[in-house]
Amino acid sequence: MPRPIIIDTDPGQDDALAILLALASPELDVRGITCVAGNVPLALTSRNARIVCELAGRTNVLVYAGASAPLERELVTAEYVHGKTGLDGYDLPEPSMPLAEGHAVDFIIETTMDSAPGSLTLCALGPLTNLGQALRQAPEIGPRLREIVLMGGGLFEGGNTTPSAEFNIYVDPEAADLVMHCGAPVVMIPLDLTHQTLTSDAIIADFRAMPNATGPATAGLLDFFERFDVEKYGSQGGPLHDPNVIAYLLQPDLYGGRHINVEIETGSALTRGMTVADWWRVTDRTANVLYLRNVDVAGYWQLLKDRLSQLP
Ligand code: BDR
Ligand code: CA
């Protein structure tokens, strides 16, 4: 039986590729996509998620709009990375499929409560506001989840939004704090890992050469997305963060990490959203996260290419 998942997301080019990877994978049953404000405001993330479903030929996927701002903070967006629309880099048609009726948070709660305990996985690719709100309204969903797999945080790489914080956690640290202690097994995919999965000219050329519509669209999105980080880090390519969440579900053997304690800084202005990760186990705080640090980079790109070549 395919594994049931909800994808919570703020597309974003890298979110878009994560969604495509999931929709191309028969091992996964995408029960719904819940959108949150993050890279760009909610109106755009909920538009972009539908554009991506239509690119994949999956107009039947339920796409919900969720939180338009973090639990307790002003929204911070990242158009400087993702462009004005969040999906700059390739001209894709406006979506014709409608948003699903209802709120993303209610959908998360209802789907979790209606699923067998320990069966539903939540894949979080953006700020954790929808999940945080769901946990506030219905804390009983935490222990019912099979797993929460999230892209966010970092230790060895520092932050990408402030010196100490990664974007998704920085935007809504209170929500991240709730997630870290919700009773679900949490798998964390930090910058320490995603900064290894860099794009390259050769990889982008492989996508561009695919004989379907998805390949060239992917190449355009990647071209645009990498430009910011290539300039920032002086690297050959840009880190493709979010598809790691889906790739981990499909091929966990590509990944390695440790069970450690991670706490979220919510008090300090200077280190807001820092993921205080006890990698060296120097405290006696209880491990609450599987912190992934290693990835088989070639295997990751091969998986993405194989699966996206199957799409329309
Ligand atoms: C994360 O922030 C966003 O810019 C990306 O979509 C990714 O989820 C990386 O810090
Ligand atoms: Ca994202």
Architecture of the structural domain at 3-308: Alpha-Beta Complex (3.90)
In angstroms, the CA 272 to CA 240 distance is 24
Q: Ligand 1: which of 9, 10, 195 to mutate, judged by most atoms within 8 Å of the beta carbon?
A: 10
Q: Strands across the sheet with 289-295, in order? A: 63-65, 28-35, 3-9, 121-124, 147-151, 186-189, 289-295, 255-260
Ligand nearest to the CA of 13: 1
Q: Which atom of ligand 1 is nearest to the CA of 13?
A: 6
pTM, 2 dp: 0.98
Alpha-carbon Rg for the chain, nearest whole angstrom, is 18
Residue 227 is inside which H or E element, if any?
A: helix 214-233
pLDDT score, position 231? 79
pLDDT score, position 233? 81
Q: Which atom of ligand 1 is nearest to the CA of 81?
A: 4
How is the chain split into domains, by residue range?
A: 3-308
Give the 3-state secondary structure of residue 76.
coil
Ligand nearest to the CA of 241: 1
For tokens 């390739």, what's the residue? 90
Q: Which atom of ligand 1 is nearest to the CA of 82?
A: 4
What is the Å distance from ligand 2's center to 289 Cα?
20
Q: What is the pLDDT along the chain (312 residues), one digit of tens a residue?
A: 999 999 999 999 999 999 999 999 999 999 999 999 999 999 999 999 999 999 999 999 999 999 999 999 999 999 998 899 999 999 999 999 999 999 999 999 999 999 999 999 999 999 999 999 999 999 999 999 999 999 999 999 999 999 999 999 999 999 999 999 999 999 999 999 999 999 999 999 999 999 999 999 999 999 998 878 787 788 788 999 999 999 999 999 999 999 999 999 999 999 999 999 999 999 999 999 999 999 999 999 999 999 999 999
Ligand 1 is surrounded, with C-beta below 6 A, by 12, 14-15, 39, 78, 81, 125-126, 151, 160, 166-168, 241-242
Ligand nearest to the CA of 80: 1
In angstroms, the CA 97 to CA 42 distance is 17
What is the Å distance from ligand 1's center to 242 Cα?
7
Q: What one-letter code names the amino acid at 1?
A: M
Known catalytic residues? Answer: 241
pLDDT score, position 232? 79
